[in-house]
Structure 1
C-alpha cells in the first residue's frame, strides 16, 4: 500500500512539474502605430528550438480561452504567441463592442496585416523558436484573420481556423501565392458561415492551387471549442455552444496538420 501511495504521489508530482514547466510571459510590442500587448507561451523544460504558432483570439479579444489553447500547444512542443489584434489588449464583454472591435480590423486589411505580421515577428525572434517553422491558429474572428493572411501569402507553413468566420478582405491570391497548408474546422450548423462564403473561398483557393481542407462537424455551431460558449450564447441569445466531441476531433486534426508541417 505504501509503495502504491508513493507511486501515486510521484506521478502527481511529475504531472505538476510538467505543467509548471509551461511559462507564459507578457510581451509589449508595436505594429508601427499602435502598442500591442501579447503573450509568449512555451515549455521551459525544453532547451531546443521548436516550431512557433501565432494564435489569434476570438472577437472578444484576449480571454482565458486563448490562454488555455496556447498552453495546450506549448505542452505539445510549440512556442505559442498570443497576438493582440485590437491594441492595448482591449477586450469586449458584449457582442456590440466585440463586433466594433473585430470590425475595425476586418474592415481595414492593412491594419489586420500589420498587426498579424508584428505578432509573427515577435514570435520569430523568441529564443525558443525556429523561425523557419511557423504556423498560425485562429478562433472565430481569429480564424478569418489567419485565413486572410494565408490568402495574402504570409510566410506560414500551415494555418488552422477553428469555427472560422469567412469574411475575406484580402485580394484573391495568384496561383502559387499561398504558402501555407490550410485547415478549416467549422461547425456544420454554424449560422455565421454561409454557403456562398464557402463557395467563394473554394473558388479562390482552387484557382490559386492552394493546399486546403474543410472539415465540418455535424451538430456543431459557432465557438464549439470554447467551454464558456454555451453560457455566452444563453446570455446574449446567440448561436454559440461548446461541443466536446467537435472540440476534441478538431484539435486532433490540427495536431496532425502541425506535426506534418512544422515538426518534420
Structure 2
C-alpha cells in the first residue's frame, strides 16, 4: 500500500504480517450500473491456489483509505480482499451533508444499491486468485447496510458482517431469499440504530425459521465506533468487533 495516515497505520499494525507473506495491491477499474468505478484488490502473493475472499463495502464517504486499510488487514489474515466502490469513480463526498444525501439516495433505491454491490462481488468472484465458493461480504456504516441488502438477493455468499450498519427493515419482510449467515455488530448507544431499530430488524429475521444470525451490541458504544479518525472511535469495541468477525469468517470460509 502507499503511505497511510498514522491512525490507519496503527490499525493495520494490529494484524501482524505473517512470515513469508507478500502483500500486494492493485487498483481495479470496473463498471457499476450506469457509471465507471474503481476499487482496490489486496492479496498475499505468496499464497498458492484459490483463496477465500472478502468484499469490503465502504461507509458513506466512499471508497478510501479506511476500507483499503481494512482490506490489507484481511489480506494479512489470509483472504483476498476487494474494497469496492459503490458510488462510482471520483464520487467521494467532502462533507457529512453531501455524504448523507448520497447514502440516502441509495437507501431510497435499494435495488440500485444491491446491483452496485453485485458489480463489486462479480469482480472478486472472477479473480483467479479467489475461490468463488468462499466469498464473504463485510461493510461499515452505509456499507454494513449494503452488505445485508446484497444478502437479501440470495447471492451465493458464505456470510455477511455488518459493522455499525443501518438496519433497514422491509414491509412486508424481505427475508425469503436470505440464506447467508449474518453477524451484526452494533453499538448499544448508537442513536442512528437505536434499540427499537435493532429489535425490529431481529423480529424481521425471526420470520424465516432456520436463518443463521447473530446481533452483538457493545455497551456505551456510539455509531461508527471502528473508525479511528473520528471522536466516536472506541478502541475496545473496535478490537472486539474485529475479533468477532475473524471468528465468524474462520467458520463460514473454512
Q: Which moved more, 1:98-107 or 1:130-139?
A: 98-107
Tell me the residue number matched to 1:253. Answer: 244
Shift of 1:104: 1.9
Shift of 1:130: 0.1
Tell me the residue number matched to 1:165. Answer: 166
How big is each residue's C-alpha offset from its partner over 1:190-219, in whole Å with a ceiling of 9 and x where there is no partner?
A: 111023322221122111232110001111
Asked if the contact 2:54–2:136 (Cα under 8 Å) also holds between the matched residues in 1, the reply is: yes
How big is each residue's C-alpha offset from its partner over 1:139-193, in whole Å with a ceiling of 9 and x where there is no partner?
A: 0010111112222322211000011111346962355x32211001111111110
Where do 5+ consecutive residues of structure 1 fail to align?
Answer: 1-14, 231-240
SS at match of 2:63: coil
How big is each residue's C-alpha offset from its partner over 1:104-147, in whole Å with a ceiling of 9 and x where there is no partner?
A: 22211121111100100000011110001111000001011111
SS at match of 1:147: helix
Alignment partners' CA distance in 1, 2:18 and 2:100 = 40
Tell me the residue number matched to 2:51. Answer: 50
SS at match of 1:229: coil
1:26 aligns with 2:17: no
1:178 aligns with 2:187: no
Where do 5+ consecutive residues of structure 2 fail to align?
Answer: 1-15
Asked if the contact 1:109–1:170 (Cα under 8 Å) also holds between the matched residues in 2, the reply is: no
Sort the Cα spacing of 1:55 and 1:87 in 2 relative to 1 into closer, same or farther, 3 A: same
TM-score (norm 2): 0.88
Sort the Cα spacing of 1:128 and 1:99 in 2 relative to 1 into closer, same or farther, 3 A: same
Say how many residue pairs are matched. 238
Alignment partners' CA distance in 1, 2:174 and 2:195 = 20
Alignment partners' CA distance in 2, 1:74 and 1:229 = 25
How big is each residue's C-alpha offset from its partner over 1:65-98, in whole Å with a ceiling of 9 and x where there is no partner?
A: 1111110101111111111111114212211110
Alignment partners' CA distance in 1, 2:70 and 2:225 = 13
Taking the TM superposition and a 5 Å limit, the aligned residue runs for 1:127-206 are 127-168=128-169, 172-175=173-176, 177-206=177-206
Shift of 1:17: 8.7
Sort the Cα spacing of 1:171 and 1:255 in 2 relative to 1 into closer, same or farther, 3 A: farther
Q: Which runs of 4+ in 1 moved over 4 A?
A: 15-20
Tell me the residue number matched to 2:77. Answer: 76
SS at match of 2:226: coil
Sort the Cα spacing of 1:252 and 1:95 in 2 relative to 1 into closer, same or farther, 3 A: same
Tell me the residue number matched to 1:40. Answer: 41
Q: Which moved more, 1:146-155 or 1:55-64?
A: 146-155
Sort the Cα spacing of 1:180 and 1:51 in 2 relative to 1 into closer, same or farther, 3 A: same
SS at match of 1:228: coil
Tell me the residue number matched to 2:110. Answer: 109
TM-score (norm 1): 0.85
Alignment partners' CA distance in 2, 1:169 and 1:30 = 28
Q: Which moved more, 1:185-194 or 1:27-36?
A: 27-36
SS at match of 2:99: helix
Q: Which moved more, 1:243-252 or 1:86-95?
A: 86-95
